[in-house]
Amino acid sequence: MSAAGRVKGAGRVRITTGPATAALASALLWILAGCGDQAPAPPASTAAGEASAELGRSLVIHPPPAVQARLRTQTAALRAVPQLITAPGEVALDLKQVAKITSRIGGQIERIHVQLGDRVKKGQALVAIGSLQLDQLIEEYLVGKAQADVAENSFRRTEKLRADDIVTERKLIEDKGLYLETQARYQHIRERLANLGISTNDLKQGPHEKSHLYTLTAPIAGTVVTQHAVRGQGVGPGDELFELVDTTRVWVFANLPIEQARHFKEGDSGSITPKGGDAIVAPITYLSPVADETTRTIRVRLEVANVQGQLKPREYVEVALSWSGPPVMTVPITALTTIDKTRGLFLETADGYTFVPIEAGREGGGWAEVRQGLKEGDRIVTDGVFDLKNLLLKEQIGSGE
């Protein structure tokens, strides 16, 4: 071959595949395929969650006799967990226990029998008012009564005479008309006096017939909390002279969100706790049928027996109400504890005691709902949890976990 031919042939490169080359390619492809079939490593969070879920299960605690004596257990069961809500409340006067004393007649105060702060009984005299108007009414009453008595006697006599045909029918009709007229006038005067709180018995045996004083009495038993009366003061109809209140029974008002108010009805009980005082249980006597336009809340009223005077009208208190939902798996709150940021409880087993992580739910009334991690019939530790927790932590440290 010439030199030119050799140079021209060197410009072309030809690759041929022999048996050794094919084997090497197959081996590379097998290695690459094997690497692609490997499963991905589990997420770190999943592994940590499983480790947390198994916390304590691998360790069975065998407490010493001193600890064992302090342990108390009970069976897990379905119970209704009380739901407790609290709301600010305000003490108010029971309006049935309030009386404003006003004069129904014009006059002048002659005597004052009580003063601010006095405790009074029902029917006790409060103030006496001298009144010319009362004098005139009493005069009309006495005259009317006399005329009515005379007219009645005359009519009864005429009836007998007419029965014997001694007098005419005209005479009987005239005497009957006069009798009815005087009776109507007399009855009208009696009603006017009754509107003033004066009965005919008062006129017979009271001070009115002698001194013509209009005496106002207490319509309820209570305490004089307001006094606007002084001796010699002129008064007119409607003037307020005293205010009496009886605080042995008071109202407490609270506002509840509509969704919470739906759980309650009249007759349910709640507790009222004054600042620095003890809780008082009282019934609900009113739930407003209309929500407040501004706050969209329902006004609730409780009636409280306040014989000892613990509650003062217009003071603020805390109102607590509770209701029970459907039965759920529950345990005493004392059974719950937290280990390594995991909430759980201790179970009694045939081998000893183990810690079980749980998912807790609602709490109330000393009970807690368990949503996961516990089944009905499990024996749970309710007292001595702190001792078992210490033993578990010591065993974990000793085992190097």
Beta partners for residue 302, in sequence order: 252, 284
Per-residue pLDDT reduced to its tens digit, 159-211: 999 898 888 999 999 999 999 999 999 999 988 888 887 776 666 654 444 45
Confidence of residue 399 (pLDDT cuts 50, 70, 90): low
Same domain? For 144 and 119 the reply is no
Instruction: Report the C-alpha gap between 341 and 322 in whole angstroms.
Output: 30
Instruction: Report the C-alpha gap between 303 and 253 in whole angstroms.
Output: 9
Instruction: Report the C-alpha gap between 351 and 392 in whole angstroms.
Output: 15
Same domain? For 112 and 228 the reply is yes
User: Do the beta carbons of residue 103 and residue 237 sit within 8 Å?
Assistant: yes
pLDDT at 400: 56
Write down which residue in 208, 231, 259 finishes a domain.
208
* Structural domain containing residue 137: 132-208
Per-residue pLDDT reduced to its tens digit, 142-160: 899 999 999 999 999 999 9
User: Do the beta carbons of residue 362 and residue 326 sit within 8 Å?
Assistant: no
Q: Which long-range contacts (CB under 8 A, 24 or more apart) does 371-374 make?
A: 371/328, 371/329, 373/344, 374/76, 374/329, 374/331, 374/345
The total number of structural domains in the chain stands at 4
Per-residue pLDDT reduced to its tens digit, 70-97: 999 998 888 877 778 899 999 999 999 9
326: Cα separation from own chain's centroid: 21
What spatial distance separates the first Cα and last Cα of the chain, rounded to whole Å? 83
Q: Is residue 376 part of a domain?
A: yes
Which are the contacts of 10, defined by CB distance < 8 A and separation ≥ 6?
none
Q: Is residue 309 part of a domain?
A: yes
Instruction: Report the C-alpha gap between 360 and 354 in whole angstroms.
Output: 18
pLDDT at 287: 96
Q: What is the DSSP letter of 38?
A: P
Phi then psi dihedrals of residue 54, to 5 deg: -95, 10
Instruction: Report the C-alpha gap between 173 and 194 in whole angstroms.
Output: 31
User: Do the beta carbons of residue 133 and residue 236 sit within 8 Å?
Assistant: no
Same domain? For 146 and 185 the reply is yes
CATH number at residue 265: 2.40.30.170
Which of 357, 359, 283 lies closest to 321 in space, CA to CA? 283
Confidence of residue 369 (pLDDT cuts 50, 70, 90): confident
pLDDT at 32: 40
Same domain? For 240 and 300 the reply is no
Same domain? For 113 and 237 the reply is yes
Same domain? For 230 and 109 the reply is yes
Find which of 6-20, 248-262, 352-366 is predicted with most confidence, using mean pLDDT: 248-262
Looking at every residue in the chain, the average pLDDT score rounds to 83
Same domain? For 126 and 157 the reply is no
Q: Is residue 33 part of a domain?
A: no
Q: Is residue 347 part of a domain?
A: yes
State yes or no: pLDDT of 340 exceeds 50. yes
Q: What is the pTM of this model?
A: 0.59
The SS3 call for residue 232 is coil
Describe the strand order of the beta sheet including 125-130 as a list of residue ranges.
213-217, 125-130, 107-112, 234-235
Instruction: Report the C-alpha gap between 100 and 220 in whole angstroms.
Output: 10
